[in-house]
Amino acid sequence: MAKKISVGEVDSFMRQLKLVIAGGIVLFLAPLAIYAFYLERRFETFAETLQPNLPQRLAGDDLARGDLQHLAVNPVEGQVVYVPAYSHVYHGKGEPHMLTVTLSVPVRLAPLCPTEVVVERDDAAGGSGANFLVEWYANQPVTRPVIEAVMIDTKGQQGISFVRRGSVVSEVGGARNGETAEPETRLEE
């Protein structure tokens, strides 16, 4: 025989069921929230270590390491380098796609040590072709540095990035076969 269940018993059962479901949700969401908080803190800590290495003035007695000078290939004493950089590119029906630009360039550095100049995504002051002229000199002939601009942007799951390498406009050469090179101009008006 079937036992009749009263309305009070049904209400009591439903309250208990709701408590069990709520407890299960809390037991599932609490560790998930703690883990999300932990990941966010780790990401912030990591992001803080990725700040650009901005150019700094070095004191006169703060000499760059010279232990890699024997590796100089096609040595030069200085250059003026034109580096194309784009604060935005156009897409679709002429709509601008804003980009962040990072220019990697030597200031007064030890060998293989870069420094960066960052043009923020929303800075379009130089127009779409916000180019750079980088002028550098060394106390003695050194290997030509690689100077390039990296443009990047991401939106949702999509991204765009590209790199443009600088082109030498003029150069102060090192001694080649005992000759002293004079500055030469490679771009014409």
Residues 33, 112 within the same domain: no
Task: Give the structural domain span for 29.
Answer: 7-51
- Tell me the residue type at 123: D
Mean model confidence pLDDT for the chain: 76
Total count of domains within the chain: 2
Residues 34, 115 within the same domain: no
Residues 163, 91 within the same domain: yes
- Which range has the top average pLDDT, 30-39, 43-52, 104-113? 30-39
Q: Tell me, yes or no, whether 2 lies in a domain.
A: no
Residues 16, 91 within the same domain: no
Of 23 and 112, the structure prediction assigns the larger pLDDT to 23
Q: Tell me, yes or no, whether 60 lies in a domain.
A: no
Question: φ and ψ at 44, to 5 degrees?
Answer: -60, -45
Q: Tell me, yes or no, whether 24 lies in a domain.
A: yes
The answer to whether 136 and 77 are in contact (CB under 8 A) is no
Q: Which of 109, 111, 135 is nearest to 54 (CA)?
A: 109
Q: What is the pLDDT of residue 180?
A: 42
Is residue 152 classed as helix, strand or coil in its secondary structure?
strand
Q: What is the pLDDT of residue 176?
A: 47
Q: Tell me, yes or no, whether 57 lies in a domain.
A: no
Residues 20, 78 within the same domain: no
Mean pLDDT on 142-153: 87
pLDDT at 23 over 70: yes
Rounded CA separation 82/90 (Å): 22
Residues 47, 74 within the same domain: no
pLDDT range class, residue 1, cuts 50, 70, 90: low
Q: Is the dihedral of CA 133, 139, 140, 145 positive or negative?
A: negative
> 77: which residues sit within 8 A by CB, 6+ positions away?
137, 138, 140, 141, 142, 172, 173, 174
Mean pLDDT on 138-159: 85
The answer to whether 159 and 98 are in contact (CB under 8 A) is no
Residues 74, 165 within the same domain: yes
Q: What is the pLDDT of residue 188?
A: 35
Residues 88, 37 within the same domain: no
Q: Tell me, yes or no, whether 133 lies in a domain.
A: yes
The three-point CA angle 184-188-189 to 5° equals: 140
